[in-house]
Amino acid sequence: MTIFIDDAGTGDILFGVVIGAYRPETDHFVYDVIDVRYFQEPVYGKKRHLNEARRIALRLVERLGLGEDEKIFICTGDILNEAAESLLEQYGEEKVVLGKIEGRGQHLVELAFTNELLNIGYEAMENRTEKWGKNFWHMYNWIKKKPKKRLKWSKSAFPNLKKYPLFQK
- 58-85 residue pLDDT tens: 999 999 999 889 999 999 989 999 999 9
pLDDT per residue as tens digits for the range 17-42: 999 999 999 999 999 999 999 999 99
> Strand runs (DSSP E) across the chain, as ranges?
2-8, 17-23, 28-34, 71-75, 96-99
Number of structural domains found in the chain: 1
Domain CATH number, residue 62: 3.30.420
What CA–CA distance (Å, rounded) separates 45 from 97?
29
pLDDT digits (tens, 9 = 90+) for 129-169: 777 779 899 999 999 999 999 999 999 999 999 999 999 87
Domain that holds residue 133: 2-167
Whole-structure pTM over 0.75, yes or no?
yes
DSSP class of residue 93 equals T
Residue 14 has what DSSP assignment?
B
